[in-house]
């Protein structure tokens, strides 16, 4: 018989698992949609401009997937203590929340500045890579302010231009 803690744990774990699969698979669907909607010339230009950002996204997604698998192993391991399982669950939850925040920040920067960006959150550090040939200090400062507005605590935001 499953007790209330076990049922609660399984429910939350399955929710985290579904969300993690959703976030890991989401960018690939968007890439395929963009590639089919563009004409041949436009897609070639977009791929050249976005290739650095896409490679960063793919690398980030791969790292996220590896981290999630490691945490899932801890959660499913019979020998793991409750403290280890709770810690692994909290880390999974944090990884999923960070991925959601990264995507929302990328969308906000796209809407605000009309720029393709890649955002990576690592604790209190936030790295922003902008696909732009123009290296503008004012734009970088505005991007930093826009990012910081979304957080109550002070974050270290770095902006890098590629293009």
What CATH number does domain 4-162 carry, 3.40.1280.10, 1.10.10.10, 3.30.530.20, 1.10.287.4300? 1.10.287.4300
* The pLDDT value given to residue 130: 92
Q: At what angle do helices 82-113 and 40-76 cross, to 10 degrees?
A: 160
DSSP conformation class of 159? E
For the chain, the C-alpha Rg in angstroms (whole number) is 19
pTM summary value: 0.66
The reported pLDDT for the residue numbered 39 is: 47
Alpha carbons 37 and 29: distance in angstroms, whole number: 12
Q: Tens-of-pLDDT digits for all 163 residues of the chain?
A: 567 777 777 788 787 877 777 766 665 555 566 555 554 445 444 555 557 888 888 898 889 899 999 999 888 888 989 999 899 899 999 999 999 999 999 999 999 999 899 999 998 999 999 988 888 899 999 999 999 999 999 999 999 998 7
Write down the pLDDT at residue 101.
Answer: 93
d(CA 10, CA 12) in angstroms, rounded, equals 6
* Domain map (residue ranges) of the chain: 4-162
């Amino acid at each position: 018989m499953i007790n209330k803690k076990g049922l609660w744990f399984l429910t939350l774990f399955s929710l985290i698992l579904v969300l993690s699969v959703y976030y890991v698979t989401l960018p690939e669907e968007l890439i395929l949609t963009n590639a089919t909607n563009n004409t041949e010339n436009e897609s070639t230009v977009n791929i050249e401009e976005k290739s650095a950002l896409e490679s960063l996204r793919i690398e980030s997604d791969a790292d996220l997937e590896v981290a999630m698998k490691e945490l899932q192993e801890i959660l499913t391991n019979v020998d793991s203590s409750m403290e280890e399982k709770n810690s692994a669950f909290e880390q999974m939850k944090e990884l999923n929340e960070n991925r959601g925040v990264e995507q929302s920040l990328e969308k906000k920067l796209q809407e605000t500045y009309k720029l393709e960006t890649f955002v990576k959150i690592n604790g209190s550090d936030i790295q922003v890579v902008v696909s732009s040939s123009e290296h503008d200090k004012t734009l970088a400062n505005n991007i930093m302010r826009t990012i910081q507005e979304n957080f109550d605590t002070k974050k270290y935001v770095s902006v890098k231009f590629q293009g």
